[in-house]
Structure 1
């Protein structure tokens, strides 16, 4: 469930990042509202996910997927040109995110059964 929440918060990150660009410095009301709503959703999801996923891993996944989705959306809408190198680097980001998911990690320190007598 933590990974699903993290992925959804990364999508929310891409939404707020896109809305930030469309808000024209917070001078357009609609995108400004979308920005603040999705910023809150994204941060709350990231905060929830790091209860079970190590912070460094969760943050890298959140930023990486958010960035990849933001660029992909900009390409799909014609705001950014498509190039072979962009595709390669976007696939690299996604590959790195998948790799971070596949790497085993211990339970966060706060949840470990630690024997203080050791």
Structure 2
């Protein structure tokens, strides 16, 4: 169950990271409210997952999911560069996430 909470927390991190772009410096009320709600939910779920999982593993996976998701959505939504090196490093983050899961003992 902790891993499910952690994955959902990571996906919510992607949501708030992308949401930051839409808040326009927290000047737009609806995107700001949704971003803040996503932040709070993401942190709460990370906290719940960390009750069972090692904090280094939980935090590393959470950040990795957020970074890869935000990077991919940045390419798709905001025409950010999709250079081979950038995509390769995102792939390495995915490998690191899988490695953390495989070696967590949970």
Moved more, 19-28 or 5-14: 19-28
Q: How does 1:68-83 map to 2 (within 5 A)?
A: 68-83=68-83
- Residue matched to 1:112: none
Which structure 1 residue ranges, 4+ long, deviate > 6 Å from structure 2?
none
SS class of match (1:77): helix
Distance in 2 (CA, whole Å) between partners of 1:78 and 1:44 is 28
Determine whether 1:97 maps to 2:93: no
Distance in 2 (CA, whole Å) between partners of 1:37 and 1:78 is 22
Q: TM-score, normalised by structure 1?
A: 0.85
Q: Which has the larger radius of gyration?
A: 1
| Unaligned ranges ≥5, structure 2 | none
* Count of residues paired in the alignment: 106
- Residue matched to 1:113: none
Determine whether 1:36 maps to 2:46: no
1:57 to partner: Cα distance: 0.6
Distance in 2 (CA, whole Å) between partners of 1:104 and 1:37 is 29
Distance in 1 (CA, whole Å) between partners of 2:96 and 2:31 is 31
Q: RMSD between aligned alpha carbons?
A: 1.2
- Residue matched to 1:111: none
**Deviation string, structure 1 residues 64-108 (Cα, Å, up to 9, x no partner):** 1101100101111243121111110000000000000000438xx
Q: How does 1:42-53 map to 2 (within 5 A)?
A: 42-53=42-53
Higher relative contact order (CA 8 A, sep 6+): 2
Q: TM-score, normalised by structure 2?
A: 0.94
